[in-house]
Structure 1
Amino acid sequence: MKALLRRLDPVPVLLSLPAGLLLGLFLLIPLAATAILSLQAFSLYTGIQSVFNLDNYVEIFSDGYFGEIFLRTARTAALTTVLTILIGAPEAVILMRMKAPWRGIFLLVALGPLLISVVSRTLGWALLFGSTGIINDVLIGLGLIAAPLQFMYTETGVVIALAHVLLPFMIISVMTTLQRLNPLVESASYSLGASGFTTFRRVILPQVLPGIFAGSIIVFAMAASAFATPQIIGGRRLKVVATLVYDEYLFSLNWPLGAALALLLFVIVIIVAVGFNQLAERRFRRLYG
């Protein structure tokens, strides 16, 4: 044991100590407090009671209302992730093939939404989505539709707005992966007689997948826990877990139930993130050894 302690280099431990303290102070301690709160009871007459049980979790798993909200949250996050992949991955490939100064200009345009408040961006989408908004006015003016389409207070509207908010994260993740690739590999594929589709499927796509997996982790986690966009676009009719937690804390004042909902959402996001991370690591090991 003493020999092991002598071999242990204290420098990495000391260097990681500040980060570990911050992690414990701002993440682990609040999570522990939330977990403890979720086990307590609540009454409208007496408030929070120091009675520890699993009643809040039993209520969540036994009530179909909560199951529907969790399912809607997962569906919205998954659709948002798919939409950002379909738009962000090709956009990242195109940006990487641009020459200066166009790459920098269009990269600034693609990442521009990050420079604007998420509330401002979402309010902008609310103006576009309205029954008399620009989108419906243009479609009606072109004769494509006879009546305004319903975007506000629908999952479709929430997914579109979330995809716009989170698209830059997918673009950054895919571009980071593409920067490690050798452009001569694609040229070699063409020189060996492969078609454009075959080159994309056998050469480009496998190398882009690690970036897509990494971006999917970020997008899914942020979409599942998003509050401002579902609150503004979805409104009171279309609840997700984040807005439900908000209501439980500030309107119903049932903090234990809200804590249980928040903790379950955290666990689900962690499980999905770990799964995506495992897929990304396997892909990286195959490509880069």
Structure 2
Amino acid sequence: MSHPSVQAVARNERPGLAPWLLSGPALLLYIGMLLVPLLMTAVLSFNAFDGTRGVLPEHTLANYAEVLGDGYYHEIFLRTGGMALGVTLLCVLFGVPETIILARMRNPWRSMFLVVILGPLLISVVVRTLGWAILMGNQGLINQALMALGITDEPVKLLFTMTGVVIALTHVLIPFMVISVWAALLKLDPQIENAGLSLGAPPMTVFRRVVLPQILPGVLSGSIIVFALAASAFATPAILGGRRLKVVATAAYDEFLSTLNWPLGASIAVLLLIANVAIVLGSNRLIERRYAAVFDR
């Protein structure tokens, strides 16, 4: 028989309503600011639309059939996926070595460079994109430098091209990759790396066999974040891509504000959300299976 005081302690340690009461305000805010608008957008996507009468109370699947059956929208979704994939690969290519070098710096240099890397997050994405538009112009600093170095004889067209959009989005989103890899590096025990070097392994082998597997979760989580943000980006593709180089976000914007076909714009937004969620969940499932297979060996 257990002692009465032990039973009292056990009863006191059982979670009651306190966690729900403490998280209630944040949960209500989350529901009100995110879930309710998403639900209203999903409902709107099933409404019919008439060019003269506007949004009709009838419900139909015609909006989804138009998006899924039209090659024009197929091209926009493929362009958006390719753009997001390119930005993700560039963020991995530049962000991972950048974070590793940053982690090996000593203070105060490490703190200074960390502020420089994360500082752009404090500036509006519109301001940063306008800055890139100035740099990428025919008379911008980039083209002037290329011509001064003799790399090209005439300005390279960067504005209103996918190349310019990818470059600017990489600059905008690379801090998220740095943050994710940085969090993984903080858990890395430097003694393990030193042990591999002391046993005679080359530095690249130690990095490939010891360091990379331990920071890979940070790289994969950062890739998921960057891909999702790049696929749903609006300001940068709209400013640097122009009206002709449409992605999914700008296509939905045009349907809402140009043609005033709100149900069609809502269906495009919902399909973008579904695609993003499917890619994120699929990536997580793939990562979990990969690591389960590694740990089961």
- 1:110-125 to structure 2, matched below 5 A, reads 110-125=117-132
Within the candidate set 272, 280, 290, 1:273 is matched to: 280
1:261 aligns with 2:257: no
1:41–1:49 contact (8 Å) kept in structure 2: yes
**Partner residue of 1:223?**
230
- Please state if 1:169 is matched with 2:140: no
Query: Any idea what SS the aligned residue of 2:49 has?
Result: strand
Say which of 88, 96, 107 aligns to 1:81: 88
Deviation string 1:231-251 (CA, Å, 9 cap, x unpaired) is 111001100011111111111
Deviation at 1:279, TM superposition (A): 4.4
Contact 1:85/1:170 (CA < 8 Å) preserved in 2? yes
1:132 and 2:139 correspond: yes
Which of 216-225 and 99-108 deviates more? 216-225
Write out per-residue CA displacement over residues 99-146 of structure 1, whole angstroms, 9 at most, x where no aligned residue: 110100111111121121111111111111111111111111111112
Give the share of equivalent positions with the same residue, in percent. 56
Pick aligned residue for 2:18 from 1, 11, 14: 11
Contact 1:170 1:215 in 2 (8 A): yes
SS at the partner of 1:50? strand
Provide the residue aligned with 1:249 in structure 2.
256
Distance, in Å, in 1 between the alignment partners of 2:133 and 2:185 is 35
Q: Is 1:148 equivalent to 2:155 in the alignment?
A: yes
Alignment of 1:13-32 (within 5 A): 13-32=20-39
Segment drifting more, 129-138 vs 62-71: 129-138
How far apart are the structure 1 equivalents of 2:289 and 2:102? 26
TM-score, normalised to structure 2, is: 0.90
Matched to 2:25, the amino acid is P
Tell me, in whole angstroms, the C-alpha distance in 2 between the residues paired with 1:36 and 1:115: 35
Segments of structure 1 that go 5 or more residues without pairing to the other structure are: 1-6
Name the counterpart of 2:11.
none
Q: Provide the secondary structure at the position in 1 that maps to 2:55.
A: strand
User: Please, which runs of 5 or more residues in structure 2 have no aligned partner?
Assistant: 1-13
What CA deviation, in whole Å up to 9, does each residue of 1:30-72 have, x standing for no partner? 1111111000111111100111110000000110000100111
Residue 206 (structure 2) pairs with residue 199 (structure 1):
yes
Change in 2 beyond 3 A, CA 1:26/1:197 = same
For the residue of structure 1 that corresponds to 2:107, the secondary structure is coil
Question: Does the 8 Å contact 1:154/1:234 carry over to 2?
Answer: yes
What's the CA shift for 1:82?
0.7
Q: Which residue of 60, 65, 69 maps to 2:76? A: 69
d(CA) in 1 for partners of 2:121, 2:94: 17
User: CA separation in 1, counterparts of 2:134 and 2:281?
Assistant: 37
Distance 2:185 2:162 in 1: 32
Q: What is the aligned residue count?
A: 281
- Alignment partner, residue 91 of structure 1: 98
Secondary structure of the residue that 1:216 maps to in structure 2? helix
CA distance in 1, matches of 2:277, 2:162: 23
Normalised TM-score (structure 1): 0.93
Per the TM alignment, residue 276 of structure 1 is displaced from its structure 2 partner at its CA by 2.8
Larger Rg: 2
Greater mean alpha carbon deviation, residues 127-136 or residues 274-283: 274-283
